[in-house]
């Protein structure tokens, strides 16, 4: 009986959000594109042959125009451009989502501890966040890359750390807004542990802003990775990251513009999809706009 | 007002110290031995030790930190490991490029962003508004360096209108600053729009119209003035983002700015240069935040009142 009522309530809340989201055309487009990109990222290995098409150089085949065999043509080393862009989706999505996952996880821990305990704990955590935010996010990521050196893991670390303050703040403020609700008091009165109250009672009721921030951050991080790779401080060629591809192709763009046009379009489409979805989610989750 | 300014200036000191400490400690976490890196694999243990001693790298962390602060106050950021040129001189030579680029970009953003955001808010749900909403979201999703490359392809390569690289004349700054403004334009339009939408619905708008204000006066003197606070914040934050992010644009247009300097220094693991560059940018970032706060007091008398 208890389980049953719980499942009904859960479903109905998700239902409301889904109903609002599905009415928003651009958000649905964003969702579809994002899911498609996720699929492409996961199954990139089945769609294209990594060794043969993505990495293997074939100079005699370079700068091919659009054809049936190479739909977007080939780059300066004779590699299929479409195959590289497809594999680039895997890299970008991987770095983008994993770094957001880490920022969200740490932000969740720090933010909930900070908001729930308040006082000194809150003060210390928030001052540390203040210091981290006194540098622009990209600058902080750049500093961390400079310290740790260049590798895919270090870029993930850099983007994760630089994303933590924003997540911590958002989670803290949304938890503070539900902290004094009656149902938290009720949970206290039947001797719930702090951990259980945070996990079972506070978080589910303050998760909305976190979802929006995560969606937006995936897009932003994909863009930041591309930027870092473009200046040569991110993913290194010959790995098919979109920014790294642009950086490699740049010197040939005067004569073969398509090799700089398509990787850029891939970035724009991906980031736009996440932004549209994030915008739609924000509207759907905004309690002021409900009903 | 003077009291307010001096109070804010004093508050800046601990913030700056904290920022410098943050950058200093991150960059000193570097795995590996700097001297080893500079001398190469074949260097003997004595040489490495001696160089470490010369560079002061054998001292404890906090001693080095306070040494650094002490030298910093005297305008000495150390010398580059690679070229031996004082970092401060390099920064002084290069910072104007970065600053000029950022200021031009933020001016473009302000002069286009605020009017467009206002029109979009005043005529909410009109055709113009829809276009505005869609295009700002698209603008937020275009990576600046790619937009820069496309502008170069179109305007420099195809039509030969504008130079694609260097900093020779004001013309050289046109493409870079347009490109850089694309980073901030979207956010400023969106902020102006949402902030104006909020103030346009306030009761004082009804009052203003009821007492016979013209529509223009109601929008500019009542709605815009009250909407200005969050807009100024956004502009300030975005100027900071621009300063911190110009390294990408400087790379696209091969401009010898501070951002490009930091990127090169990171590639060569030239730590004094990296540290000096980032600390200068961080300081400017904090100063901008201060100026934004001072602007609040100018725009909103209520802020100033609370400090009396």
Contact state of B137 with A276 under an 8 Å Cβ cutoff: yes
Minimal Cα distance from B153: which residue of A?
A254
pLDDT at residue number A291: 43
Minimal Cα distance from A128: which residue of B?
B18
What backbone torsions phi and psi does residue A74 show, to the nearest 5 degrees?
Answer: -125, 160
What backbone torsions phi and psi does residue A136 show, to the nearest 5 degrees?
Answer: -60, 150
Residue A74 near residue A196 (C-beta atoms within 8 A): no
pLDDT at A21 over 60: yes
pLDDT at A271 over 90: yes
- Could you tell me how far CA A50 lies from the centroid of its own chain? 24
Contact state of A134 with B150 under an 8 Å Cβ cutoff: no
**Interface residue A255 vs chain B (CB under 8 A):** no
| 3 state SS of B162 | coil
- The mean per-residue pLDDT over the stretch A188-210 comes to 82
Contact state of B285 with A136 under an 8 Å Cβ cutoff: yes
Could you say which DSSP state residue A236 is in?
A: P
Query: Tokens in use for A57?
Result: 């150089």
Contact state of A260 with B29 under an 8 Å Cβ cutoff: no
For helices A81-117 and A25-42, angle between their N-to-C axes, nearest 10 degrees:
110
Count of CA atoms in the C-beta half-sphere (13 A) of A246: 31
Closest Cα to residue A226, out of A155, A154, A139, A275? A155
Minimal Cα distance from A130: which residue of B?
B15
Give the CA dihedral A60, A63, A67, A70, nearest 10 degrees.
80
Interface test with A, best of B12, B145, B197, B236 (most A CBs within 10 A): B145
Band (B7; pLDDT cuts 50, 70, 90): confident
What residues in A contact B266, CB-CB < 8 Å?
Answer: 142, 145-146, 233
What residues in A contact B290, CB-CB < 8 Å?
Answer: none
Strand-pairing partners, residue A74, are A80
Minimal Cα distance from B164: which residue of A?
A254
Q: What mean pLDDT, rounded, does chain B reach?
A: 85
Band (A110; pLDDT cuts 50, 70, 90): very high
**Interface residue A230 vs chain B (CB under 8 A):** yes
Contact state of B263 with A148 under an 8 Å Cβ cutoff: no
- Tell me how far apart the alpha carbons of residues A129 and A119 are, in angstroms, rounded to a whole number: 16
Minimal Cα distance from B237: which residue of A?
A136
Q: Could you tell me which residue, A198 or B97, shows the higher pLDDT?
A: B97
Query: Tokens in use for A178?
Result: 């539900």
> Any idea which of B49-63, B79-93, B143-157 has the lowest mean pLDDT?
B49-63
Q: How many CB atoms lie within 10 A of CB B25?
A: 12
**Interface residue A145 vs chain B (CB under 8 A):** yes
Query: Tokens in use for B28?
Result: 């000193």
Query: Tokens in use for B149?
Result: 């490359």
- Tell me how far apart the alpha carbons of residues A210 and B243 are, in angstroms, rounded to a whole number: 28
Interface test with A, best of B146, B236, B253, B292 (most A CBs within 10 A): B146
Minimal Cα distance from B266: which residue of A?
A146
- The mean per-residue pLDDT over the stretch A144-157 comes to 88
- The mean per-residue pLDDT over the stretch A37-58 comes to 79
Band (B158; pLDDT cuts 50, 70, 90): confident
Q: Which of B134, B143, B152 sits opposite A227 (nearest CB)?
A: B143
pLDDT at residue number A13: 63
> Any idea which of A50-59, B30-39, B79-88, B153-162 has the lowest mean pLDDT?
B30-39
CA distances from A5 to A1, A11, A142 (A): 6, 10, 50
pLDDT at residue number B114: 93
- Tell me how far apart the alpha carbons of residues A274 and A215 are, in angstroms, rounded to a whole number: 6
- Residue A228 makes CB contacts below 8 A (sequence gap 6+) with A141, A142, A145, A155, A234, A235, A243
pLDDT at B25 over 80: yes
Q: Which of B145, B267, B278 sits opposite A227 (nearest CB)?
A: B145
Contact state of B266 with A142 under an 8 Å Cβ cutoff: yes
Q: Could you tell me which residue, B34 or A140, shows the higher pLDDT?
A: A140
Q: Which of A26, A143, A226 sits opposite B27 (nearest CB)?
A: A143
Closest approach of B234 to chain A, Cα-based (Å): 13
- Residue A40 makes CB contacts below 8 A (sequence gap 6+) with A47, A86, A89, A90
Q: Is B230 exposed, middle or buried (0-12, 13-18, 19+ CB in 10 A)?
A: middle
**Interface residue B139 vs chain A (CB under 8 A):** no
Interface test with B, best of A231, A261, A266, A277 (most B CBs within 10 A): A231
Show the domains of chain B with their CATH numbers: 96-267 (1.10.3720.10)
- Residue A179 makes CB contacts below 8 A (sequence gap 6+) with A115, A116, A202
pLDDT at residue number A58: 73
Band (B33; pLDDT cuts 50, 70, 90): low
Count of CA atoms in the C-beta half-sphere (13 A) of A140: 26
Contact state of B241 with A233 under an 8 Å Cβ cutoff: no
Closest approach of B285 to chain A, Cα-based (Å): 7
What residues in B contact A263, CB-CB < 8 Å?
Answer: 146
Model confidence, pTM: 0.87
Band (A1; pLDDT cuts 50, 70, 90): very low
Contact state of A135 with B244 under an 8 Å Cβ cutoff: yes
Residue B203 near residue B194 (C-beta atoms within 8 A): no
- The mean per-residue pLDDT over the stretch A186-204 comes to 83
pLDDT at residue number B37: 67
Residue B276 near residue B291 (C-beta atoms within 8 A): no
Strand-pairing partners, residue A80, are A74
Percent of chain A at pLDDT exceeding 70: 93
- The mean per-residue pLDDT over the stretch B124-138 comes to 88
Find the length of chain B.
308
Query: Tokens in use for A78?
Result: 């004779």
Closest approach of A25 to chain B, Cα-based (Å): 12
pLDDT at B308 over 70: no
pLDDT at A247 over 50: yes
Contact state of B247 with A144 under an 8 Å Cβ cutoff: no
**Interface residue A27 vs chain B (CB under 8 A):** no
Q: What mean pLDDT, rounded, does chain A reach?
A: 84
Interface test with B, best of A92, A134, A270 (most B CBs within 10 A): A134
């Amino acid at each position: 009986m208890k389980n049953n009522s719980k499942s009904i309530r859960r479903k109905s809340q998700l239902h409301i959000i889904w109903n609002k989201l599905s009415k928003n055309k651009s958000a649905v487009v964003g969702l579809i594109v994002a899911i498609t990109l996720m699929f492409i990222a996961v199954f990139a290995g089945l769609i294209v042959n990594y060794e043969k098409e993505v990495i293997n150089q074939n100079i005699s085949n370079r700068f091919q125009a659009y054809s049936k065999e190479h739909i977007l043509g080939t780059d300066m080393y004779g590699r299929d451009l479409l195959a590289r862009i497809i594999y680039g989706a895997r890299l970008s999505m991987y770095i983008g989502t994993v770094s957001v996952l880490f920022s969200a996880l740490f932000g969740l821990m720090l933010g909930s501890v900070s908001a729930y305990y308040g006082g000194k704990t809150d003060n210390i955590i928030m001052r540390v966040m203040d210091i981290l935010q006194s540098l622009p996010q990209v600058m902080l990521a750049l500093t961390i890359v400079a310290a740790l050196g260049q590798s895919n893991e270090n870029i993930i670390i850099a983007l994760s750390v630089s994303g933590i303050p924003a997540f911590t703040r958002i989670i803290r403020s949304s938890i503070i807004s539900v902290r004094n609700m009656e149902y938290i008091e009720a949970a206290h009165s039947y001797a719930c542990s702090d951990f259980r109250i945070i996990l079972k009672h506070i978080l589910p009721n303050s998760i909305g802003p976190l979802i929006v921030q995560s969606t937006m951050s995936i897009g932003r991080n994909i863009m930041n990775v591309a930027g870092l790779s473009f200046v040569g401080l991110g993913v290194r060629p010959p790995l098919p990251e979109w920014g790294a591809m642009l950086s490699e192709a740049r010197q040939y763009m005067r004569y073969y513009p398509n090799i700089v046009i398509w990787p850029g379009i891939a970035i724009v489409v991906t980031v736009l999809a996440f932004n549209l979805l994030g915008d739609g989610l924000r509207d759907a989750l905004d309690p002021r706009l409900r009903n | 007002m003077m009291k307010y300014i001096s109070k804010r200036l004093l508050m800046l000191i601990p913030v700056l110290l904290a920022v410098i400490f943050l950058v200093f400690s991150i960059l000193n976490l570097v795995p590996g031995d700097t001297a080893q890196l500079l001398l190469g694999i074949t260097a003997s243990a004595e040489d490495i030790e001696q160089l470490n001693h010369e560079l002061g790298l054998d001292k404890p962390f906090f001693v080095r930190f306070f040494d650094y602060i002490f030298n910093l106050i005297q305008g000495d950021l150390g010398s580059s490991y690679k070229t031996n040129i004082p970092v401060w001189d390099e920064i002084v030579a290069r910072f104007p490029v970065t600053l000029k680029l950022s200021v031009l970009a933020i001016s473009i953003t302000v002069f286009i962003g605020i009017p467009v955001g206002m029109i979009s808010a005043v005529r909410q749900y009109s055709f113009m508004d829809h276009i505005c909403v869609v295009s700002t979201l698209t603008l937020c999703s275009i990576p600046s360096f790619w937009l820069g490359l496309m502008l170069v392809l179109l305007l420099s390569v195809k039509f030969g209108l504008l130079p694609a690289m260097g900093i020779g004349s004001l013309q050289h700054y046109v493409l870079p600053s347009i490109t850089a403004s694309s980073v901030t334009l979207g956010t400023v339009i969106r902020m102006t729009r949402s902030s104006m939408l909020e103030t346009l619905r306030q009761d004082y708008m009804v009052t203003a119209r009821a007492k016979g204000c013209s529509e223009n006066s109601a929008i500019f003197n009542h709605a815009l003035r009250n909407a200005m606070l969050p807009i100024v914040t956004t502009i300030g934050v975005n100027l900071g983002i621009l300063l911190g992010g110009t390294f990408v644009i400087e790379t696209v247009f091969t401009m010898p700015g501070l951002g490009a300097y930091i990127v090169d220094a990171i590639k060569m693991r030239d730590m004094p240069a990296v540290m000096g560059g980032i600390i200068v940018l961080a300081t400017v970032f904090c100063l901008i935040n201060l100026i934004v706060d001072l602007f609040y007091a100018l725009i909103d008398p209520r802020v100033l009142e609370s400090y009396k």
